[in-house]
């Protein structure tokens, strides 16, 4: 079960890196919430519903000129049951442009997932970034 959840999180990062909006969208529950907190920014940004989350993702992808890699690591589970899970992981965001690779930012994901017909979907994602991206 934990491996299925870890794979769902990895697939989400992979879909984002490859600008595969259909697969990215498929990983979010229709009623999902995404909260983005960035150090140095006063107010968190909250996106309610899969459509709003995908608007954020599409806007970010449209603005990118580099190739991004969302590396997810140090994954552990706060709780897991047959139908829900809470996971914590680190994000290391790396970008490559014009042959140069740079660290863009780091952060921590706090994710809640639900099992819907055998698929683990993000229902609540909280990302705290250490600096803007």
Chain centroid offset of residue 19 CA: 13
pLDDT at 133 exceeding the cut of 90:
no
Give the total number of structural domains in the chain.
1
pLDDT band at 65 (very low <50, low <70, confident <90, very high): very high
pLDDT band at 105 (very low <50, low <70, confident <90, very high): very high
CA–CA distance, 54 with 40 (Å, rounded to integer): 24
pLDDT at 42 exceeding the cut of 90:
no
- Residue 98: give its domain's CATH number: 3.10.450.50
pTM of the predicted model, to two decimals? 0.94
Check if the beta carbon of residue 130 is closer than 8 Å to that of residue 106.
yes
Mean pLDDT taken over the chain = 97
pLDDT band at 132 (very low <50, low <70, confident <90, very high): confident
Range of the domain at 10: 2-129
pLDDT at 112 exceeding the cut of 90:
yes
């Amino acid at each position: 079960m934990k491996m299925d959840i870890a794979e769902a999180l990895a697939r989400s990062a992979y879909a984002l890196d490859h600008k595969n909006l259909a697969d990215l969208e498929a990983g979010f529950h229709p009623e999902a919430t995404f909260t983005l907190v960035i150090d140095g920014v006063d107010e968190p940004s909250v996106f309610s519903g899969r459509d709003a989350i995908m608007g954020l993702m599409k806007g970010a992808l449209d603005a990118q000129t580099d190739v991004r890699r969302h590396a997810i690591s140090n994954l552990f589970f706060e709780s897991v049951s047959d139908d829900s899970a809470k996971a914590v992981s680190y994000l290391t965001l790396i970008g490559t442009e014009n042959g140069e690779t740079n660290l863009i930012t780091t952060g921590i994901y706090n994710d809640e997932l639900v099992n819907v017909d055998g698929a683990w979907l993000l229902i609540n994602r909280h990302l705290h970034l250490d600096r803007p991206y």
